[in-house]
Amino acid sequence: MPALYLLKRGLSSFRSAHESLITFNSPDTTGRVTIIDSRTLHIDHICEFTLRLQHDVKIRMDKLLYDNPLFTLHNEEFIHDDPRSRTPGYGFVDDARNSWHDKPSVLQYILSNPDRLRELSYHDETGAFHWKPGAVHARMVAIYKLQMDLFILILLSFGAPARRTELLSHLIRNISGGSIRNVFTLFNLFTLRGSFNKTSHAVLQHRAMVRIPLILVGRLFVRFLVFLRPLYSEWQYIFRPQMYSNSTHFLFAGLYRPIVTSDLSLKLSTVFWTEFKVRMSLGRFRQWMAFLFSCNRSIFRAVDSGTTSTADQFGHSEEMDMDHYGADLRFPQGLNNSIYMETARASAATQLMFGHPPDLLLALSQGADWQNGIVTLSKAIMEGRYVPPNQVIIPQSSGILPSPDLAISAHSIANIIKTDVLPEFSLHINRAIAESYGSILSILAPKQHHPQPGSLHQNIRIHAHPFFLQRLRQFRSSEDSLLGFTGAAQAEVTQLMYDGKYNVGYFAATGSGKTTPALLNSTLDQGKSTVWCLPLKSMHEQYHRRCKSYSMTCESWTRMTSPDDPPSHILVTIEKTDSHLFHDFMSRLVGIRNLARTVILRCLL
């Protein structure tokens, strides 16, 4: 029993991911200001701190490198890498094509400079050379602290943060008989490949991904690995031989022992408490970043490159295409251009969200102008906006326009005149002729009386629910308890439109509020549209103003009006209702249940 009790105590201490979920709050939908433990954390403060820390790291790195111009890397300098090389001990820091191989190392500089050498070493009575333990140790601590600050810079700028175990698994060199490195310089960008996640065992493969920090941060880390890490490794070989391999292969090298997850979490917690007075472990930081991403998905959708169906044309899966067909030597095994761009742009979007310059997104988009030209041409053809070379183009315009209408050409102008101008012009002519005939008839037979039709019989009688009276006052933004419908008929029509069981004919005097029932019901339609058939196009402006005053969306129907995401009110002239394009639009609107009602206004008798 005691053993079972101890087992139960141990099992009870475990919590599932759902039970350990940390929730966050924000005063707006973007999450830019997050409330954490009764304190507020603004993402602009993270950006300001990142820039300050980056500047401080550069100054300290210059000091550790003796402000020597030999130990610098220009921002435009190309860094060579062979991402598919499996040679043991190889990394981009060892590539002979890079410029630092023609320069002396920091260790050579110290040994050749008497003043620097005297600070860090001495000769004993036999003339043997020795490093000074105290001075060397102080310099190693400074290099180690610089590395941990670089870790913070990477964590705050490389996108969705990795798990702690994944951060510790980053290698800068291949290990003989072991793991392949996952730190590269791809397209001259310092890149960390994600190679560990919880789904690896379930799907029997690693989920390939990349994370890219700010370009200047990546350059600082490359400079650190190229110039300071070899000196650090040399001193580890002398004072702590067991830590030499750790310093030569791991991105984050330990000082007295290998770095563990608690070291990274403690560093992050210390920084956040010192700068923002917010408790932030590495696990909480991951959940906070997930909260920011969920609040700002539109930012990441804007840079999402998507996928293509070319793998289907080849007749095999995209994984087969990546692994066995058309292998891309620019990427390590398991990565291709699509995966690299999609995950790298997520890092770029994160940097934009925090307020950093768009340097990474610009670097990833080099050459996109040629691709975008083909994409624009394809869309223009598919949307009917393309003008063939033999078509006459109106001067001062291009064949492809970013407008929803057709490109400006002689043919498109003729179509617009035919469909938009002539019907309204004909209506005005016919009305003028009819009024002329009426005037002549009145002159010729002034005393002749024509029989007037009697009042129409009301076939349906129904009582409106009191809810509509309350809704009417809300609609009018009035708290007047005496405000009501203009008459019983208006209230009954409102109820009939809401029920949707009958086609309603509503005849009333001008200015009595014939449009009120339809406008009032449209506030209850939950995404559906009301189509208004108006006799004159000049009436559209009046209805646009009215809908705007009630905070409703309104649009005059065109070929580009979307039935899948329609506005609350769609205006169309009587002449356009005879168009087959409008018929197709209405069929689609009805088919997906986005049509609430059709209102035909002011029949001319």
Give yes or no for residue 197 having a pLDDT over 70: no
* Both structure tokens of 73: 């890397």
Task: Encode pLDDT of 200-259 as tens digits.
Answer: 444 445 567 889 999 999 999 999 999 999 999 999 999 999 999 999 999 999 999 999
Give yes or no for residue 147 having a pLDDT over 80: yes
> Within its chain, how far is the Cα of 369 from the centroid?
20
Pick the more confident residue, 456 or 228: 228
Which pLDDT score is estimated for 400? 47
Which pLDDT score is estimated for 340? 81
Task: Encode pLDDT of 311-346 as tens digits.
Answer: 554 454 555 555 555 556 777 877 777 778 888 888
User: 120 and 134 in contact (C-beta within 8 Å)?
Assistant: no
Give yes or no for residue 453 having a pLDDT over 50: no
The answer to whether the Cα torsion of 107, 108, 110, 111 is positive or negative is positive
Task: Encode pLDDT of 107-145 as tens digits.
Answer: 999 999 999 999 999 998 898 999 999 999 999 999 999
* Both structure tokens of 305: 């490159």
pTM over cut 0.85:
no
Q: 173, 201, 182, 2: which is closest to 88 by C-alpha?
A: 173
Pick the more confident residue, 514 or 479: 514
3-state secondary structure of 533: strand
Give yes or no for residue 188 having a pLDDT over 70: yes
**pLDDT above 90: percentage of residues in the chain:** 33
Which pLDDT score is estimated for 404? 40
Most confident of the following: 125-129, 486-490, 491-495: 125-129
User: 572 and 555 in contact (C-beta within 8 Å)?
Assistant: no
Beta-ladder partners of 569? 530, 554
Give yes or no for residue 355 having a pLDDT over 80: yes
Task: Encode pLDDT of 408-433 as tens digits.
Answer: 556 666 766 776 677 777 777 777 77
Task: Encode pLDDT of 280-319 as tens digits.
Answer: 999 899 888 888 888 888 877 777 655 444 455 445 455 5
Task: Encode pLDDT of 559-568 as tens digits.
Answer: 888 888 889 9
Q: What is the DSSP string of 65-114?
A: TTT-GGG---TT------TT---TT--GGG-TTSGGGGS--HHHHHHH-H
Give me the mean pLDDT over the 253-278 stretch: 94
Give me the mean pLDDT over the 368-383 stretch: 73
Give me the mean pLDDT over the 169-195 stretch: 88
Question: Whole-number mean pLDDT of the chain?
Answer: 81
Which of 444-453, 524-533, 552-561 is predicted with the least confidence, judged by mean pLDDT?
444-453
Q: With bands split at pLDDT 50, 70 and 90, how would you rate the model's confidence at 499?
A: confident
User: 331 and 83 in contact (C-beta within 8 Å)?
Assistant: yes
What are the structural domains of the chain? Answer: 39-362 (no CATH), 367-443 (no CATH), 466-600 (3.40.50.300)
Task: Encode pLDDT of 377-400 as tens digits.
Answer: 777 777 766 766 656 555 544 454
Which pLDDT score is estimated for 504? 85
Q: What number of CA atoms fall less than 13 Å from residue 537's CA on the CB side? A: 16
Q: With bands split at pLDDT 50, 70 and 90, how would you rate the model's confidence at 17?
A: very low
Give me the mean pLDDT over the 148-156 stretch: 96
Task: Encode pLDDT of 38-81 as tens digits.
Answer: 888 898 899 999 999 999 999 999 999 999 999 999 888 999 99
